Amino acid sequence: MKKIKMLLPADQEYVSLARLTIASVATNMGFSIGDVEDLKVAISEACTNAVNHSTCPEATFDLTYIVGQKELTFTVSDTGVGFEPDLVNLPGENDDGGASGFGLFVIKTLMDSVEIVSKKGVGTSITMVKTLPSDIIALVPLPHRSLSTKIQETVEILSCGFAFQNNFGV
């Protein structure tokens, strides 16, 4: 497993950096274009919530990716105002003109697993998981495989008299 951690200013212009990062990580893991787009939407919603609910101009939020063999786990954590996740209305349920919870609804719809931990006055942490489809896992080079392992596989294939490269491992 590999862990990537970023500390970003709570400013809307940095949400695009989070989108680019997750797109790169997910593509390298072998996620489909559709799944990459879902991941970009989910991270955008979580980061936008962190930015919108920050408490001061110098606020920041943490973005952590954990790249596993079969899944991508990512967490957006802030020190914003916090909220009660169980009290958030679904879209269309809120008659008072307040927050709709649409972003959280979208995140929960697109991800395989979502965990929200929040405390008023302390902040919020949203952890999301997307799992590779089982038919893709066998074809994708695993993140823990070293370059020397990939080169060794290529050499073994070429030494057997084959005139092609192992595109899955190189």
Q: What pLDDT was estimated at residue 96?
A: 55
Q: What pLDDT was estimated at residue 128?
A: 98
Q: How far is CA 55 from the centre of its chain?
A: 24
| CATH number of the structural domain spanning residue 131 | 3.30.565.10
Summarize pLDDT for 108-167 with one digit per residue, the tens: 999 999 999 999 889 999 999 999 988 655 455 555 545 445 444 444 444 344 344 444
- Please answer whether residues 38 and 96 qualify as being in contact, where contact means their C-beta atoms are separated by less than 8 angstroms: no
Residues 91 and 167 in one domain: no
Q: Which residues contact 130 (CB under 8 A, 6 or more apart)?
A: 26, 31, 35, 38, 39, 42, 71, 72, 111, 112
pLDDT tier, 101 (very low <50, low <70, confident <90, very high otherwise): confident
Residues 135 and 169 in one domain: no
pLDDT tier, 17 (very low <50, low <70, confident <90, very high otherwise): very high
- Between the CA atoms of 158, 159, 160 and 165, what dihedral angle is there, to the nearest 10 degrees? -10
Residues 164 and 129 in one domain: no
Residues 151 and 129 in one domain: no
Q: What is the mean pLDDT of residues 29-36?
A: 96
Residues 79 and 152 in one domain: no
Q: What pLDDT was estimated at residue 44?
A: 97
Average pLDDT, the chain: 81
The total of structural domains in the chain comes to: 2
Residues 19 and 90 in one domain: yes
Q: What pLDDT was estimated at residue 21?
A: 95
Q: Is the pLDDT of residue 68 over 70?
A: yes
